[in-house]
Structure 1
Amino acid sequence: MSIVQLMTGKILFDNTGILHELKIEAEHWLNNEYDELNKTIVEMKKYSLWDSLDNLKDCFEQKRVDFHFVYFNSLANVFSEYCQFLRLESIPYYQVHSYLIDPAYNKKYLKNVFPDSIFKEMFLKALIETDIQRMMEVYEELVNHVMNQMGDFDIDGWKIKSPLIE
């Protein structure tokens, strides 16, 4: 939880050397790569993205007053799911914009640049769109891009098979 603070903080006093050891361990964890998602998890994520898009479409078609709320929560969800697929750490929703546009943020929090520049531009465009019709279009394009990166998805006849776990 405090990896970045340990990595970037200045040690003023460490009589026992424990803070130095913690800093070394923090660097190890910071450089650790996340495991690749298994096929079943990827399929579940694709279904989740499809379902979010379908729910947003329903909200739009019904002209519901909570459309904007659903839209922005759906954006946060697609960002989170895609980061997991890309094996990136979670970024809190209130830091996503800074993470995508601010090199100072990345330096301060020891983050690498987001690896998919196409998604990044689409996502930033989705954040500032104000026309509801365009919001739907931009969100669907964003989900389709992520689905394409994950290996496409077709709800018709969709089934999921997972290995038995004993």
Structure 2
Amino acid sequence: MASFIDAQAPSVMCVRCKCRRSTIGASENANKSNSVPASPAYGEMFRASAAASPDNSVMFPFEVFCAAFMQDVSPETQKLVYPLLERQPFHTMNESLDLDEWERLQLPSSYVLSKDDLALPPGEFAWAPRFPARLPGAPLIYTPGSHESLLIQPEPLAEALIQAAAA
């Protein structure tokens, strides 16, 4: 696996970051302008990071990345990948997505979730069932790995995406 990460991480990470910008969970409550769909601690971390940046973007501290985004790899791999991350626009984390238009289009949808994704830890602020429930009727497809399964578990993730496309 290390050879995959060493050889592919920069290009794969760029794809991942660009995809995330348009899909990372936004607020479920359109009436709350400062709402972040994560725990209050994460919300404060996001707001502080955005306020400290020149462009209202956020970056997770290395310790949070290791514990919640890529906890299923060696420390060496974490140190290799973390510098490749891009800051994320804060608005992708605190503005609501308008799913009415998505629903109106009646596009087929699936929700793919990594089994060990702790980016939003288990409990009240977990990914599931909150986010999949926003796409009523969409199958929930699990794949192994953490939040960064694209880098760590690419084959099973590809299989899950193929399954989602066929659903």
TM-score by length of 2: 0.27
Asked which structure has the greater CA Rg, the reply is: 1
Higher strand share: 2
Higher helix share: 1
